[in-house]
Structure 1
Amino acid sequence: MNDTLFPRERTVVAPGAVHVPGWLSPARQRELVDACRSWARGPVPLRHTALPGGGVMSVRTVCLGWHWQPYRYSRTADDVNGQRVAPFPERLVDLGREALVAAYGKDRTYGDAIAYAPDAALINFYDGAARMGMHQDKEERSGAPVVSLSIGDTCVFRFGNTENRGRPYTDVELLSGDLFVFGGPSRFAYHGVPRVRAGTADPASGMASGRLNITLRETGL
């Protein structure tokens, strides 16, 4: 369906959790896709993260600022090649602050855009078969909101509760250019991606196929 005929509205999914459809213009999406391709080449390359139990995540990830591995942050990618992670770009700080304004407006209850200082980015690439199980983003010492940007294929984003991986949860379709922010009482909610709708990417985004998810976090480290 055409968003012009049937516009998708900003939605408060839960207290502190806000979905802003179409927030990134096609031009900004292409800029981020180009940047992500550069970041994915290293010094720490895009990789499938190995889990402590022996499993391997189906998404591929590259980090900026701080390197995430289950379940901690470090400055060097000791589980990949031992290299120091690429620095966190100042333009992503600005983007994160813009995102909080778009999500919360002048309401500083769940996050103050002026004070927001993200210093880590996890960039996940999903092909059509990739999934993300329900989990909490809880390695950070800061309770500042998480900013999530989607580019490429549409996905089903499952946003749950703070107590367990089961119900109640809400399934939200995230399209290319969508913004999702969660902070305040929803900061530690379980969330995941049970499905990617392969082949739905708009080439104008710079993605011929697959989904990029860029999440900005304030680690407090």
Structure 2
Amino acid sequence: MKNTAAATDSGRAHTGGSSSLSLFDDLPREAREPLGPGAFVLPGFALPFVNELLPAIDAVAGRAPFRHLVTPGGFTMSVALTNCGALGWTSDRRGYRYSATDPDTGLPWPPMPASFARLAREAAGAAGFENFAPDACLVNRYAPGARLSLHQDKDERDHGAPIVSVSLGMPAVFLFGGLARGDKAARVPLAHGDVVVWGGEDRLRYHGVLPLKEAPHPLLSQLGPIRINLTFRKAA
């Protein structure tokens, strides 16, 4: 994977690519946009972490390469993924599950980088969920056209902990629905550095991502036309 970049989306402009806090003095770290009683967008929250996240993502992918999983129904996912942390989410014809080992190698998943855990903990705290300690991070890579259909994150044993989702690279439209698949889903534009946190009564809401549209961003030559999403969970 190449390095990431800033992007603009739906009138919100975030400039990043550096971990220097001085670049973001005008961005209130406590700023949050509510999606529900326990769900918030934190615009640009991940920008100060970017220079730490990028080499960490490369290191994770070097030990556990991105792959396209197969669903129990035989569908090949358009989003490529890998994992880090004590547990990793995986899928095949036997079902969805968490595993302590990479099924491709039989080895433990790469440890969760300290920068990942710190970002997840601070973002969760900014959304009102203190002491979040994720044991799993799903790393998704979206190419143009890749999408994520509406689903619930319900394979985790602990539904009391929130989900923390970090967007890097190209902008995307996040779908945030209700507790039933047929509920109308809000369309939430996400730009590079945005973080979404949902928990409490919103923890099991359906969510997804519309097909990714190719869009330029300042570090396109380094990252390429992709979006990286880090999803932190307390699985066990």
TM-score for the superposition, normalised by structure 1: 0.85
- Hey, what does 1:20 align to over in structure 2? 42
Q: Once the 2 structures are TM-superposed, how far is the Cα of residue 204 of structure 1 from its aligned partner? A: 8.2
Work out the CA distance in 2 between the residues paired with 1:67 and 1:34: 20
Work out the CA distance in 2 between the residues paired with 1:121 and 1:215: 5
Q: Once the 2 structures are TM-superposed, how far is the Cα of residue 91 of structure 1 from its aligned partner? A: 3.3
Work out the CA distance in 2 between the residues paired with 1:116 and 1:123: 18
Instruction: Mark the CA change 1:163 to 1:61 in structure 2 (over 3 Å): closer, same or farther.
Output: same
Q: Once the 2 structures are TM-superposed, how far is the Cα of residue 35 of structure 1 from its aligned partner? A: 1.4
Instruction: Mark the CA change 1:18 to 1:133 in structure 2 (over 3 Å): closer, same or farther.
Output: same
For residues 158-169 of structure 1, what are the structure 2 equivalents within 5 Å? 158-164=175-181, 166-169=182-185
Q: Once the 2 structures are TM-superposed, how far is the Cα of residue 29 of structure 1 from its aligned partner? A: 1.9
**Is this contact kept in 1: 2:170–2:216, CA < 8 A?**
yes
Instruction: Mark the CA change 1:179 to 1:206 in structure 2 (over 3 Å): closer, same or farther.
Output: farther
Work out the CA distance in 1 between the residues paired with 2:117 and 2:58: 19
Work out the CA distance in 2 between the residues paired with 1:119 and 1:10: 25
Instruction: Mark the CA change 1:120 to 1:134 in structure 2 (over 3 Å): closer, same or farther.
Output: same
- Hey, what does 2:78 align to over in structure 1? 58
Q: SS where residue 171 of structure 1 aligns?
A: strand
For residues 138-177 of structure 1, what are the structure 2 equivalents within 5 Å? 138-143=154-159, 144-164=161-181, 166-177=182-193
For residues 184-203 of structure 1, what are the structure 2 equivalents within 5 Å? 184-203=200-219
% same residue = 38
For residues 96-107 of structure 1, what are the structure 2 equivalents within 5 Å? 96-104=120-128
CA RMSD in angstroms, aligned pairs only: 2.2
Q: Once structures 1 and 2 are overlaid, which stretch shifts more, 84-93 or 68-77?
A: 84-93
Aligned residues: 206
